Amino acid sequence: MTVHSIPQMAHYIPPAFLTELLHARSPSGYESEAQAVFDRHVKPAADTYMADALGNRIATLNPAGDPTLMLAGHMDELGLIITYVNKDGFVYFDTIGGHDRTVISGRRVVIQTAGGPVKGVTGKRAIHLMDEADRKKVPEIHEIWIDIGARSKKEALARVSIGDAATYDHEFELIHGTIGTARAFDNKVGAYIVGETLVRLSRDARKPAARVVSVATSQEEIGVRGATISGYTVDPQVALVVDVGHATDHPDCDNRKYGETRLGGGPIICRGPNINHKVFERLVKAAAKLKIPYQVESDPRPTGTDARAIQVGRGGVATGLVSIPLRYMHTPSEVVDLEDVERCVKLFAEFARGIAKGDYRIW
Ligand SMILES: [Zn+2]
């Protein structure tokens, strides 16, 4: 027997709160599994905790603090919603959120039903059964179906109902070191970051001056709906939003069009009209103080994140946006370096600690 000397790579164990969120199935409007995870990990650390009619989870630390800092990360993910079952028991669907239609077929899916999870696969005509022209086309949604192994409409409808939602059955795993893949890093990492920041601040010996409110928002993927109403409820002076952002460091991505950001390069701090300049500067200062790497991106319009809703809530909110670099967004195999996630938790906590009483008057 030959004994090889293998240099021991430090084995990275991701936090349970994050892996439970990644495991939770939470298509927009059907977020109950993610809500339960957030409840379990964040509620015990909060001074007050509430849920609202759209499923937001709102955790408050230091309720008498001033100003109010809102931290928002959406917990919903892309999904499929059952629309029709044909006579042979094949299940048709529409999409929840912005799917890439080239990757929908050939997937294992789990449908959340009243009777528990139902397994299926997304089927379409095999390549052998297509003519030359069809092979070049991206299938329309109605040309794909879910096969749950039922033999008739009656049998299928005994197991699934119109309006049930489904997600890809792709689970989180590490692929190398701290680099992992999952079907919904977008935006379970964000929900984790806002919840974990509050948990860590609750352990500080000194309370923050601010009232810190961490919100796991619902229904971001279909129009920032949870953030719209929770921004009103929380009524912050300052807000930090965290979502995922494109790492543009992979092949076939033109930096002239999409800027330059990379996986593992640190949280991406956004600039542009959706962002308050002082909040941006303070984020940069906090990152420098912590000596964590960060990247800067710009966006010339309201961003495609909760920040677009929160900034224009009530009389206006000084808003910042930080993105976790991610490859292959809105596919079943998104890729993130979890070190960037941990860096963002530290960044948010430092930003919160740096707010002095009455600070918001300078925004
Ligand atoms: Zn998204």
* C-alpha 152 – ligand 1 centre gap (Å): 35
Specify if 48 maps to a domain.
Answer: yes
The verdict on 106 and 227 lying in the same domain is no
Specify if 109 maps to a domain.
Answer: yes
* C-alpha 269 – ligand 1 centre gap (Å): 17
* C-alpha 245 – ligand 1 centre gap (Å): 9
Specify if 1 maps to a domain.
Answer: no
Give me the number of domains the chain comprises.
2
The verdict on 214 and 310 lying in the same domain is yes
The verdict on 236 and 301 lying in the same domain is yes
Residues 68, 136 contacting (CB under 8 angstroms)? no
Domain that holds residue 55: 16-77+184-362
The verdict on 218 and 262 lying in the same domain is yes
Specify if 4 maps to a domain.
Answer: no
Q: How far is CA 226 from CA 10, 84, 122, 233, 329, in A?
A: 39, 28, 29, 11, 21
The verdict on 94 and 64 lying in the same domain is no
Please tell me the number of Cα atoms within 13 Å of 128 on its side-chain side: 0
Average pLDDT for the chain: 95
The verdict on 35 and 123 lying in the same domain is no
Specify if 177 maps to a domain.
Answer: no
| Euclidean distance between CA atoms 344 and 323, whole angstroms | 9
* C-alpha 192 – ligand 1 centre gap (Å): 15
Q: Is 20 a catalytic residue?
A: no
Specify if 178 maps to a domain.
Answer: no
> Mind listing the pLDDT tens digit for each residue in 216-246?
999 999 999 999 999 999 999 999 999 999 9
Specify if 286 maps to a domain.
Answer: yes
- Name the domain boundary from 135, 168, 201: 168
* C-alpha 351 – ligand 1 centre gap (Å): 25
* C-alpha 126 – ligand 1 centre gap (Å): 29
| Euclidean distance between CA atoms 213 and 193, whole angstroms | 13
The verdict on 188 and 336 lying in the same domain is yes
- Name the domain boundary from 168, 201, 223: 168
> What is the DSSP code (8-state) at residue 204?
S
The verdict on 86 and 221 lying in the same domain is no
The verdict on 134 and 192 lying in the same domain is no
Tokens representing residue 189 in the block = 């990492």
CATH at 96: 2.40.30.40
CATH at 295: 3.40.630.10
Specify if 306 maps to a domain.
Answer: yes
* pLDDT of amino acid 361: 64
User: What stretches in the chain show pLDDT beneath 50?
Assistant: 2-9
The verdict on 308 and 231 lying in the same domain is yes
| Euclidean distance between CA atoms 253 and 269, whole angstroms | 20
Q: Considering all CA atoms of the chain, what is the largest pairwise distance in Å, rounded to the nearest integer?
A: 73
Angle 16-23/32-42 helices, nearest 10 degrees?
A: 170
The verdict on 125 and 240 lying in the same domain is no
* pLDDT of amino acid 358: 83
Q: 15: helix, coil or strand?
A: coil
> Mind listing the pLDDT tens digit for each residue in 44-60?
999 999 999 999 999 99
| Euclidean distance between CA atoms 171 and 183, whole angstroms | 7
* C-alpha 232 – ligand 1 centre gap (Å): 22
Neighbours of ion ligand 1 (CB under 5 A): 186
Cis peptide preceding 273, ω within 30 of 0: no
The verdict on 122 and 269 lying in the same domain is no
Active-site option among 20, 196, 220, 339: 220
* C-alpha 221 – ligand 1 centre gap (Å): 6
